[in-house]
Every structure is written in structure tokens, then in C-alpha cells.
Chain A
Amino acid sequence: MVTLQINGQSHTIDAPDDMPLLWALRDIVGLTGTKFGCGIAQCGACTVHLDGKAVRSCLLPVGSIGNRAITTIEAVGETPNGAKIQKAWLDIEVVQCGYCQSGQIMSATALLNRTPNPDDSDIDAAMAGNICRCGTYVRIRQAIKNAAKTA
């Protein structure tokens, strides 16, 4: 049994220590907003926050997390930067198929958490780990800049 702090709630789940957080979230806790894309931390679809920082949940064993606060796409809108990013995404219609966008939004929110006014190279560095097959990158970049300008 492993106890995880997810979106402000404590969850004790029947999972082996080596189980990646991704599958604990999706198949046990039932939070399916975090997506499976590659399983080897190459695409970023599975990005969640650990204490506000972006991590790839597909390679993060649940036994290694301890009491750190996990935030997923389902609750990131309750944080100020998460809400700003979500709004910026919708304002300029970033999303196409949407499958990667949970991860994109988690990475973008983590970027604003540590760099409130990111420039292009900050955006490249923070977002290059998130693949979008629909090719929404032009709008992702713009939406992050728009969100950063919002008070």
C-alpha cells in the first residue's frame, strides 16, 4: 500500500512501489486527465506537478514520492498560474486534438511558477519536452506569453 497526496487529498492505494505514478493516477485513482504517450519520458503527455514542479509521471515510481504534493490537470486550475494558463489556452484556441494539452498546460504552469515572464528561450527550454503531434506550438508560445502578461 502506498499513500499519495493528490490534488490536496490523501489517497492510499494498493500499488507496488515501482508502479509509475501515471498508471496509479489513471487506473487506480481514476484521474484520466494525465495521459500516456510514450512511457519513456520523451513526449511529456504525462506531466504532473510535484510541489509545483513539472515531472514526467510515466517514469516516476509511486514509492519514491512520499509526502510531496502531486497536482494533476484536474486541479491545476485551482492554482493562480494554472488558471491563467488554461484561460490563455482557450482565449486563442491553442487546442486541437487535445491529447497532449494536459501535459503542455502542466509544463507551462510550472514554467510560470518559476519564471513569471518567460522569454522565447525560457519557453523553448521548458516546453521542448512536450510533443504536440497536431503542431500547436505557435499558439502554445503565444498563449504562454499572453498568460504571463495577465495580472
Chain B
Amino acid sequence: MSISAKDAADLSRRNFLKVGTAAGGGLMLGFQVGDAFAQEKKGAAEAAAPAPAKYVLNPNAFIAIAPDGKISFQIPQEEMGQGVYTSLSQLLADELDVDLANVTPLPAPPIDAIYGSPRSHRMSTGGSTSIRGFYTALRQVGASGRAMLVQAAAQQWKVDPATLRTESGQVIDDAHGGRKLSYGVLAPAAAKLPAPQDVKLKDDKDLKLIGKSVKRLDTPDKVNGKAQYGIDVRMDGLKIAALAASPVVGGKAVRVDDSKLKAMPGLQLVVLDDIVAVVGPHFWAAKKGLDSLDITWDGGENATMDSAKMWQELRATSLKPGVVAKEDGDAPKNLSRAQDNRIDVAYELPFLSHAPMEPQNFTVHVKNGGCEMWGGSQVQTSAVAAAAKTLNTTPDKIVFHNYMLGGGFGRRLDTDMVVKSVRIAQKVDGPVKVIWTREEDIQQDMYRPAYRNVMSANLDKNGKIDAWTHRIAGGAVSVRMSGKPLKGGLDRGSLEGATENNYGAPNFRVEFIEAPPKALNIGYWRGVAPNNNVFATESLMDELALKVKKDPVAFRLAHLDGTPRLKAAVQLVAQRANWGSALPKRAGRGICAQFAFGTYIATVCEAEVDEGGHVRIRQVHSVIDAGRIVNPDTLMAQVQGGLMFGFTAALYGDITVKDGRVQQRNFNNYRIMRINEAPPIDVHIVASHEPSGGIGEPGCTAGPPSLVNAVAAATGIRLRKLPIDRDILAGRKIA
């Protein structure tokens, strides 16, 4: 169930929701909240994403209470497995004082003005920002709602609201024998009251849901087949399409031989410049029809590109001076003086596909000068805008039904699947569901950019880092997405995890140089910039420790006095992982210390490498300090799963190009770790009252460096290029 964009637009026009009819037929309360983010701003440790100067959540509409007391929350963030339907419901429900058993989370309609993140003013689920963005705001919305319901009860009973209390969806008057009024009964009157602007949030000791591992609200329907993803949409008259986009970026279909297709009844051929699709009654027919075509593509200038050339270009660019992103002291000068204890090195990371389990798909019905569409997106309003632009119309002509995602990982921060589906739907009479095959999904991705990190560091006489330089070379996703060049050549989205100087180098410089790849589109991928920068930083830290024959944990601890939360996490994880204890031959432990997404995490990976170069992860320990936590079990799940996502990339992830075409096709040659490879993962959460950090990505970015450092400890071989090359580990190839 979802509110249509049109209904939602009507809601937003009612300059603050007095009374609105909720989707379920109940009453909808809306709450105007003032500067909801002052509190987060004050405590915000993460300077990387400053809160807006003044954010006013106005109007908003998050809570609907039906007469029977059933409650629905409009959840502005996309549920893609990270548990956000539950965690954001916890924030609302705790302050509103209702039981989660009565709560149904719903996808909020696409309206930035109401549901946009306080951090960015737009609807976007990425960068581990849901809790960081909404922690205070949704608590205030819940508290404001509670105050209105209490006020409504006080008016009915003619008592002072201060004498009333609430519990489990009821207002209770202890002074008068404990009489009660349910929220469902009070909602009509409450909704007509002005929303209080300065509500007091609960004291920590009174919290019932926040900080507790409550059961997830979305999972019961995910174990019995009832949960609906975009790909599950069905409706009368629905047709299904299979598509083939140009296998070379920028290419065109120059000839389509459909002689075999003509013998197959009930199929429609759609030929657009760069896309060929076949539409049929079900996917099997459409796919068979597509396979029957003989398509001649003209790849254009990208058709001569291959991985070797792309790496050659990236390497050449990485040797040029970049734009300085962060400078402390004078690193170049101090490096030039250094002799002995200096390291110059480069780390290389490949292009990666997202490969969410639910292949890309969108269902679109073009009609009435616009379209109605069904699907899952991490950027609901951008999806609407993309459809409107494609149809050369305005967003109010687009009705979007948003669905849970069978995996996001950044893939659905892009809207190319919306645009392609709308373009095909323009040629189809009635609704059409366009489904990507796995091959199409992998070969038409917006890939994590390849990066080259050119780094130098030297140590002083005491073995402390004296100078550190890091030049990041890679494509800027912001440029690919916006089509606009970088301001001053600096891509701020590529810097996190590199510029913080957690280890306190007195002379420290980070540069960025844009190296836009040919032949591949680039996109955001789980872990964003830190999945490059943390790998580079933590690899170099291990190399420096080795240079002065220091233990990697001790070496880091000696540099972490200025970053005490990270230091504490490193100390604790070393203890929990039994760091320093004996291991079998060809086994080793690797450490990764990371501050990114507002969260501190220290990870020890224990791995072994056999004579054939095969890597097995034996066990993993993480200690995570993510500030205030809404749902500890969800956090653990995200760290466990994030680590697996990162390990998969380190072991297998590599998108390569030949003749302009992506060579990987399916899970047979774009491998994902399987259960028999999955290590036990111990996650320890540090109790904290600091502002919440993000949790979706820290595990992912901690995986590769901890694993590669473990491999180095096990074998003495330092791998400076991902994915892990078994031939090098087996001695069949020189690094």
C-alpha cells in the first residue's frame, strides 16, 4: 500500500495538515517541527556532512492513527534490508508511546519538502545516513504527536494536561481513577490542534524501544513469500519486457534482424537507439523473443577500449599533481628530506558491480500525459523527476508506488532503470514490467569506480609518522550523475576516509585528481569513498609498521592519542581477537582501524592461505562504536553483512572490459561469497551516548583492508591491488 504522489502532493498543499484522510481510512496527524536538528548539529562529530543552517520539517506527515488504534508510519527512507522500517518506527513509536505491534511502516510518498532528509533536503537512502539524519527529527515528530493527543484528552476531560500520562497508545488520567482514552478515539480532535514546537524528548531512562533489539517489522512477510518487491508487481493487462541495451556505453543498434521473432506469436519488438526490447505475456516469452533477435551494435568510440588501456590511463593520470583536499604542515617538504624510513607506494582498486539479488526492474504505464510506475528506488523523488524528464512532462504527472528493495548497495541511487523502463513503456499499450536479466544487470551497471592511490609516508626517529601524502585518482560519481564538472577539480564525495588524519601526522596532504573512465558508467557503491580510502590508508599503516618492525596494532595505538574512540576500539578488538597469540603456519591476523560515516570500527580478520594461493577467512572480530544505537541487533546484522560484502569484493570483485564490453556476465564469473566460505563474525558494540553514526557501510569498508593485512601476515606478501590475486599468493606470478 502506498500513498500516490498525487495524494501526497495534495497533502503537502494543505499547509500543514490539519486533518487528512490516511491511506487506511483513519486520521492522519501531521506535525510541524521547528529547528529539529539543532541538537544533532551541536553534538555532530562528523564534520564531513554539516547539518543545514536551519532545517524546518514543515509540513510533514508521518503518523496515521485509525479509530481502532492501528497506526501507520510513513517511512521516508527506503527499506533495502538495513532495517530502517523498524529503526525509524522505533524512534517515532517510543516518543509517541505506542506498541510496535500496532504499527505498520509504509513507504512515504515522493515529496522532498516533507520527507527529505534533514541532512540533504532530499529523499535519498545512502551513505549510512538514515539514523544520522532522522534520529532527532522523528523523535520530535513522535513527541509532538503525543503532546497533541494528551492535549486532546485534557480538553475532553477538562483537566491540566500535565496531570496526564500515556502508555501503549492510551492517555491515562491517574487523578481520576485511571480513566483512559485511546489514541484512536482521540486522533480526530488531536489532529485539529496546533503542533507544539518545543516538545521535550524522553529521558534515556524512560526509553522503551530506542536502544532495544526489537523484532523487525518487515521480516515476517519475508519468510513466507508475501513480501512484495518491485519485481513482484502484478496487475490486469500487465505485459513483461526483456531488454538488451548497447553492450558498449554510447553504442547504438544499427540493425535488428527479427525474422525469427516474426514466427513467435504475441510478441512486440521495441527498437530504440540504444535499447532493443521484446514485450510479451510473460518473461519467458519475452526473453526467448529477445534471444531470437540478431542485433548488430555499433559501439562507437568506446568499442576499442579494454581494461589494459583503462588502467594505463588511470595510472598516467594518477602521476599528475592533484587538487589539495586537506593539508596540515608541509608534507612534501618533509618527505623530500626523508631518506631511510620512507615508503612510496600505490594501491589499486577495480571497478565493481553492485549485483543486488533482485535484478533491476520497473513497471510503467504511460498514460494521461504522464505515467504511473511501480518499483524500488533509493531516491524516490529523483525517480519521479527522471520519469517526468523522459516523458517531457512535470513531476505531478507521475504517480510512483515505491517498493522495498531486494538489495540496494547504491545501485538504486541511480535512475537509469527508471528511464529505460519509461522509454520502453512509451511504445507499449498498457502497463509493462521491464525486467533485467542477471547478465543485463551486471553488464549495464553504474560501477564502483576504479581507483589508484599514490601514497608516500615517512617515519621519524621514534617510529612516528612524520609526513603522509595520499593522492586519490579515480572517476567522480557526482560528475557522472549531474553532468556538471567539478568545482575547482575537487570531488568531495571521494575524500571520506582519507582526509581525517586519524593518526595525527604532523605533515599531511591529501589530493584528488579526477580520472573519468571511458567505456564504463560509474556510480555509488556500498562504502562509497571509504571503500577506497580506508583500504589505502590501512594498507600503508601496515607497511609502515613493518618498515620499523612494529606490531600493526601497537603501531596504530601509538598514533591514536588524538582519536580516543578509535583507540579504545582497537584495544578492545585486539583483546577479543586474541591478537598476538600463536596461529598455524600460513595463517595470519590483519587489523583495520576506521572512522567513517560517523562511526568508529576496529576489525581483526584472521585468514589462512594455502600453497595454491587459496584464501580462507577463519574468523573475524569487530568492535564498533556507533554512538547512540537504535537497534543493536540490526547494527550487528549490518556489520556482519557489510563485512561479507567487503570480503566478497576483496576476494572476487573485478569488472573488466574487452572491446568496450563488460566481460563478467552472471554469478559464475562475477562471484559472490557463499555460506561455505563465510567465517564466524563476532561483533561487539561499545555503549555510547555520542551522536549516532551510520552502520550500513562501516563493515563493508573494514573488510578488504583487514583481510589483505591478514594475508600479508600469513604469507609475507603485500597485495597492493584488488581483488586478491591467488597466482601471486601461490608464487605463480610476481606482485
Contacts and interface: CB of A to CB of B under 8 A. Distances in A.
A-B CB proximity, top 5 nearest: A33-B225, A135-B644, A99-B406, A97-B81, A98-B222
A118 interface: no
B675 A137 contact: yes
B82 A30 contact: no
Nearest to A73: B225
Nearest to A40: B666
Contact of B637 (A15, A27, A93): A93
Interface string B188-231: 00000000000000000000000000011011101111111101
B641 interface: yes
A36 to B, nearest CB: 7
Interface in A65-100: 72-74, 77, 86, 89-90, 93, 95-100
Contact of A23 (B216, B224, B284, B673): B284
A20 interface: yes
Contacts of B731: none
Given A128-B674, A133-B409, A99 B358 contact: yes
A112 interface: no
A2 interface: no
Contacts of B641: 96, 134-136
Interface stretch (B139-147, B319-327, B545-553, B676-684): B676-684
B231 A36 contact: yes
A128 B676 contact: yes
Contact of A74 (B224, B634, B678): B224
A97 B80 contact: yes
Interface string B610-639: 000000000000000000000001100100
A90 B219 contact: yes
B250 interface: no
A105 interface: yes
Contacts of B225: 31-34, 72-74, 102
A88 B327 CA distance: 53
A78 to B, nearest CB: 10
A27 B432 CA distance: 13
B644 A20 contact: no
Interface in A20-40: 20, 23, 26-28, 30-40
A59 B648 CA distance: 26
Nearest to A125: B676
Nearest to B226: A33
Contacts of B224: 33, 73-74, 77, 86
A135 B673 contact: yes
B508 to A, nearest CB: 34
A130 B407 contact: no
A16 B265 CA distance: 12
Given A73-B224, A74-B225, 4 more contacts: A38-B666, A93-B216, A98-B222, A133-B409
Nearest to A100: B357
28 contacts: A19-B284, A23-B284, A27-B282, A32-B234, A34-B225, A35-B357, A36-B283, A37-B667, A73-B224, A86-B223, A89-B219, A90-B219, A90-B220, A93-B634, A95-B218, A97-B405, A100-B406, A128-B674, A130-B674, A130-B675, A132-B675, A134-B357, A135-B645, A136-B640, A137-B675, A137-B678, A138-B680, A139-B640
A65 to B, nearest CB: 15
Given A77-B224, A123-B675, A133-B407, A28 B357 contact: no
Given A27-B240, A90-B215, A99 B672 contact: no
Q: Which of A74, A101, A124, A138 has the most CB of B within 10 A?
A: A138
Nearest to B676: A124
B83 interface: yes
A141 B679 CA distance: 11
B184 interface: no
A42 B282 contact: no
A43 B234 CA distance: 24
Contacts of A39: 437-438, 666
A128 B675 contact: yes
Contacts of B666: 38-40, 42
Contact of B667 (A38, A102, A128): A38
Contacts of B223: 73, 77, 86, 89-90, 95, 98, 101, 105
Contacts of A98: 81, 218-219, 222-223, 227, 404, 406
B457 interface: no
Contacts of B231: 32, 35-36
Contacts of B645: 133-135
A40 B438 CA distance: 9
B518 to A, nearest CB: 28
Contacts of B437: 39
B358 A35 contact: yes
Nearest to B284: A23
Nearest to B674: A128
Q: Which of A20, A42, A95 has the most CB of B within 10 A?
A: A95
A139 B216 CA distance: 15
Nearest to B80: A97
B517 interface: no
B541 interface: no
B650 to A, nearest CB: 13
B67 interface: no
Q: Which of A26, A31, A96, A128 has the most CB of B within 10 A?
A: A96
B221 to A, nearest CB: 8
Interface in B427-482: 435, 437-438
Contacts of B80: 97
A132 B222 CA distance: 14
B676 A35 contact: no
Contacts of A100: 357, 406
Nearest to B221: A98
A6 interface: no
Contact of A134 (B81, B218, B359, B674): B81
B396 interface: no
A137 B228 CA distance: 23
Nearest to B220: A90
Contacts of B676: 124-125, 127-128
B355 interface: yes
B696 to A, nearest CB: 10
